[in-house]
């Protein structure tokens, strides 16, 4: 009995929201807390995925903080372990020959590397790094639910006051 985006998407793609378990196939051991390095990588990843452009990006929306909190206080040790494994695999892929090179690279270079990985993962249903989809989806959720994400990148009305079913087209609403 609701029309949330999640339902529509699930119906469309028949994909469970928390698809990491089913899809990543690299379930690691449980993990107590996310490491600093992992969070730093996640920060770099978020910034590359959703950079500041004409509108604020993931860093302005405090996405790394939200994800850190989510992984440390929402996720179970098992989920955290899986994320850890996924992040390590992503980091390795993005660093290529030289460890640490992704985070050290400039924005253009990071975008080039991530863009390539993104295209490869979305180009196939069986990509070994398909757990990336879950990471991306979580980053996006944290961004669009942030204050700048909802208010500046998209549109948000806390109190619309009325409903119109055939309103003029405009930017995406942050919530439905």
Partner 1 sequence: MSDFDAIVVGSGMSGGWVAKELTERGLKVLVIERGKDIDPLKDYSDMKQPWEKKNLDRVAEDELKRDYAVQGDVYAMFESNKHFWVKDIDHPYESPEDRPYKWRRGYHLGGRSLMWARMSYRLAPLDFESNLKDGHGVDWPIRYEDIAPWYDKVETFAGVSGSKEGLAQLPDGQFLPPFEMTAAEKVLKERLEANYPTRKMIIARSANLKTATEEHLALGRGPCQSRNLCFHGCSYGAYFSSNSATLPAAKRTGNLTIVTDAIAHSVNYDAKTKRVTSVNVIDANTKEKRTYTGKVVFLNASAIASAMILLNSKSEAFPNGLANSSDQVGRNLMDHVGGTQVTGIVRGIEDKYTFGRRPTVSYIPRYGNVTEKDKPYDRGFAFQVYSGRSGWYGERPGIGQEFKLANRMPGDWTITLDPMGEVLPYSDNRVTQHKSKTDKWGMPIAYIDATMRQNETALMEAAVADAIEILTKAKIEVLNNPDPKKPNVSPPGQKIHEMGTARMGRDPKTSVLNGWNQAHDVPNLFVTDGAFMTSSAAQNPSLTYMAFSARAANHAADLLKEGKI
Binding site for partner 1 (CB under 8 A): 1-5, 7-9, 11-15, 48-51, 53, 55, 66, 69-70, 73-76, 79, 111, 114-115, 118-119, 122-123, 133, 136-142, 144-147, 150, 153-154, 156-176
Q: Shortest approach of partner 1 to residue 151 CB, angstroms? A: 9
62: alpha, beta or left? (left if phi > 0; alpha if psi -120 to 50): left
Which long-range contacts does 41-46 make (Cβ < 8 Å, 24+ apart)?
41/87, 41/90, 41/91, 41/102, 41/103, 42/67, 42/68, 42/87, 42/139, 44/102, 44/103, 44/110, 45/90, 45/94, 45/114, 45/135, 45/139, 46/139, 46/142, 46/143
Cβ distance to partner 1 smaller for residue 73 or 97? 73
Q: Shortest approach of partner 1 to residue 166 CB, angstroms? A: 4
Cβ distance to partner 1 smaller for residue 20 or 38? 20
Cβ distance to partner 1 smaller for residue 34 or 50? 50
In three state form, how does the secondary structure of 65-113 look? HHHHHHHHHHCCHHHHHHHHHHHHHHHHHHHCCCCCHHHHCCHHHHHHH
Cβ distance to partner 1 smaller for residue 6 or 92? 6
Cβ distance to partner 1 smaller for residue 98 or 170? 170
Longest Cα–Cα distance of the chain, Å, equals 56
Q: Shortest approach of partner 1 to residue 140 CB, angstroms? A: 3
Q: Shortest approach of partner 1 to residue 121 CB, angstroms? A: 8
Q: Shortest approach of partner 1 to residue 100 CB, angstroms? A: 21
């Amino acid at each position: 009995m609701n029309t949330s985006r999640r339902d529509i998407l699930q119906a469309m793609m028949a994909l469970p929201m928390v698809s990491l378990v089913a899809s990543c196939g690299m379930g690691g051991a449980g993990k107590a807390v996310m490491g600093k390095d992992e969070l730093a990588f996640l920060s770099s990843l978020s910034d590359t995925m959703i950079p500041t452009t004409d509108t604020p990006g993931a860093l302005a929306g405090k996405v790394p903080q939200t994800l850190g909190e989510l992984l440390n206080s929402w996720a179970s040790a098992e989920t955290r372990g899986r994320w850890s494994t996924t992040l390590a695999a992503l980091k390795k892929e993005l660093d290529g020959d030289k460890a640490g090179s992704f985070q050290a690279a400039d924005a253009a270079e990071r975008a080039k590397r991530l863009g390539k990985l993104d295209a490869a993962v979305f180009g196939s249903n069986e990509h070994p790094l398909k757990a990336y989809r879950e990471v991306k989806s979580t980053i996006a959720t944290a961004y669009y639910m942030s204050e700048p994400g909802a208010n500046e990148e998209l549109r948000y009305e806390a109190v619309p006051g009325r409903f119109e079913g055939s309103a003029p087209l405009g930017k995406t609403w942050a919530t439905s």
